[in-house]
């Protein structure tokens, strides 16, 4: 049986992931057949060097990345892993998989081992993992997940954006995916639902906990710890509005994609 390759991406101009990569990436080299990482051309060069030191295949995304380029980066990562590997692909954001490798390495190894048993696997969060996020994120993503679940006809946490894909599923995604934003969270499973007969499987894991703090150690320390930092986030009305816009983006992608493809 062919192995599973990791497809991931990052935009890190300040090199915030340098230490997490050093501390948490080594186990990934044993868990995955190959590591394919898309980085923006604005990412700190030291991050690229460190990734390459660990044997990652690094692909440069030109013109940087904003909310309107995330979809492009994700497709590029899937394409690189599909072409460079022989088996299934695990797509997940880099900071999320680094957190997972450090907090629940045995679970990550088990889940990666299970990916090859599925055509398209949505990897969501357990209630325990969801509780690690700020309330503003939990409450707004709950609504986006509800819309996506109604479209798919099954309950699923799509906003964790972690997927296991067969080569066939990856090909279908690359053929039909066009959304350039975080709306790909919902677009990809809806594409598989509408344009294939491939079964959509679903599991929940503890390892997909709140990951943002990996890139913000100084801010977290200044706030008096992670819980205090999250509490401040939840007391900021601008943060709620930001999260609401994200949720709307993903929910709209689910419904729009479904209507366009049916």
- pLDDT tens for each residue of 103-143: 999 999 999 999 999 999 999 999 999 999 999 999 999 99
With a CB cutoff of 8 Å and minimum separation 6, the contacts of 36 are 5, 6, 7, 8, 56, 57, 59, 77, 80, 81, 84, 85
Q: What is the pLDDT of residue 218?
A: 84
| Helix, strand, coil in percent for the chain, rounding step 5 | 55, 15, 30
Check residue 14 and report its DSSP letter: T
Closest CA to 159 of 47, 234, 52, 243: 243
Report the C-alpha gap between 69 and 47 in whole angstroms. Answer: 20
Low-confidence ranges of the chain (pLDDT < 50): 1
Region for residue 15 given its phi and psi (left: phi exceeds 0; alpha: psi -120 to 50; beta: otherwise): left
HSE-CB at 249 with a 13 A cutoff on CA atoms is: 18
Radius of gyration, CA atoms only, the chain = 17
Report the C-alpha gap between 89 and 259 in whole angstroms. Answer: 27
Region for residue 161 given its phi and psi (left: phi exceeds 0; alpha: psi -120 to 50; beta: otherwise): left
Q: What is the pLDDT of residue 231?
A: 95
With a CB cutoff of 8 Å and minimum separation 6, the contacts of 88 are 2, 3, 4, 5, 115, 116, 164, 165, 166, 167
Would you state the CATH architecture of domain 4-131+157-209? Answer: Alpha-Beta Complex (3.90)
Q: Is 103 in contact with 52 (CB distance < 8 Å)?
A: no
Q: What is the pLDDT of residue 1?
A: 45
């Amino acid at each position: 049986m062919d192995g599973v390759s990791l497809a991931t991406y990052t935009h890190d101009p300040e090199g915030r992931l340098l230490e997490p990569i050093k501390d948490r990436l080594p186990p990934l080299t044993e868990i995955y057949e190959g590591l394919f990482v898309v980085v923006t051309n604005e990412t700190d060069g030291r991050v690229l060097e460190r990734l390459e030191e660990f044997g990652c295949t690094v692909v440069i995304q030109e013109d940087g990345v904003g909310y309107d380029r995330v979809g492009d980066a994700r497709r590029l990562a899937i394409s690189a892993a599909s072409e460079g590997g022989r088996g299934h692909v695990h797509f997940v954001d880099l900071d999320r998989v680094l957190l997972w490798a450090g907090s629940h390495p045995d679970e990550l190894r088990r889940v990666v081992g299970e990916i090859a048993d599925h055509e398209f696997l949505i990897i969501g969060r357990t209630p325990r993992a969801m509780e690690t996020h700020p309330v503003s994120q939990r409450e707004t993503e709950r609504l986006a997940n509800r819309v996506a679940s109604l479209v798919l006809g099954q309950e699923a946490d799509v906003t964790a954006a972690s997927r296991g894909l067969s080569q066939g599923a990856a090909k279908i995604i690359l053929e039909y995916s066009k959304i350039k934003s975080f709306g790909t969270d919902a677009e990809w499973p809806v594409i598989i639902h509408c344009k294939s007969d491939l079964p959509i499987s679903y599991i929940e894991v503890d390892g997909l906990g709140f990951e943002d703090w990996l890139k913000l150690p100084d801010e977290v320390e200044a706030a008096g710890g992670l819980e205090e930092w999250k509490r401040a986030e939840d007391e900021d009305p601008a943060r709620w509005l930001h999260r609401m816009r994200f949720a709307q983006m993903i929910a709209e992608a689910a419904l729009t994609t479904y209507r366009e493809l049916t």
